Amino acid sequence: MKVLNLEKPIIAMIHVDALPGTPKYGGNIKTIIKKAKSEALLYKDAGIDVLMIENMHDVPYLNRNAGPEITSIMSILLYEVKNISNLPSGIQVLAGGNKQALGAALAAGGDFIRAEGFVYAHVADEGFFNSDAGEILRYRKQIGAEHISIFTDIKKKHSSHSITDDTDITDTAKAAEFFLSDGVIITGTATGKKPSLEEIRNVKEAVNIPIIAGSGITKDNVLNYLQYCDALIIGSYFKTDGKWNNPVDINRVKKFVDVLK
């Protein structure tokens, strides 16, 4: 099964620096753009297939309420990243800013978004998340963005799922498929933590939409996950010392790509 018309693509994360209005913002938008473009070229030169930007430095996140200043700068960043790399590119707006991400992707010519809280409710760091599948897919239709894929987290990391404890990840994946998700993302319990291969295998057997591993993939385990996944999202492993908030380590990226070759 192909994702973004590619066979088992590697999606590399660009964690853009803190944006205007957030506590860690450094005061220079041009520097943020320059860094994101630089990372895009590093990834492309190393042989990466797809890029995704995310405002992960904007801590603490707002619950589905990223402001217009975030949406607008993320749109510019996505445009610049895709324009300089000429790679399929996507976006996630934290936390759960699915409408904002979709609007930014449409304006920037992006290819996909990563959406939190698509089906079933959960409690995350930011508070309670209700599902928004109906709302986000209607919004996509209204703005003429049906060409933009919506890949959706299920049983998402950094979250409590006790209120849906009687619904396992396979049931959640089936619900996401029924609600027209373009692909489900399966993660470990936190950033950098690998997902359960057993869960991935079970979901793979249960649905006919793409399965994407969304955390914890390294050069040592990548081939295990590629047996069952249609795409992989890599963030932490590509950074210095394997920590998401460090700069991209081009040697780690190249060694990872070498394993695939």
pLDDT in tens, 198-232: 999 999 999 999 999 999 999 999 999 999 999 99
Amino acid at 94: L
Q: Which percentage of the chain shows pLDDT scores above 90? A: 85
Q: How confident is the model at residue 194 (pLDDT cuts 50, 70, 90)?
A: confident
What confidence score (pLDDT) does residue 125 get? 81
What average pLDDT score do residues 79-106 get? 97
CATH code for the domain in which residue 195 is found? 3.20.20.70
What average pLDDT score do residues 35-40 get? 98
Q: Which percentage of the chain shows pLDDT scores above 70? A: 95
- Count: domains in the chain: 1
Range of the domain at 251: 2-260
Q: How confident is the model at residue 193 (pLDDT cuts 50, 70, 90)?
A: confident
pLDDT in tens, 120-175: 987 888 778 889 999 999 999 999 999 999 999 997 656 666 666 768 999 999 99
| Residue 192 reports pLDDT greater than 80 | no
Q: How confident is the model at residue 39 (pLDDT cuts 50, 70, 90)?
A: very high
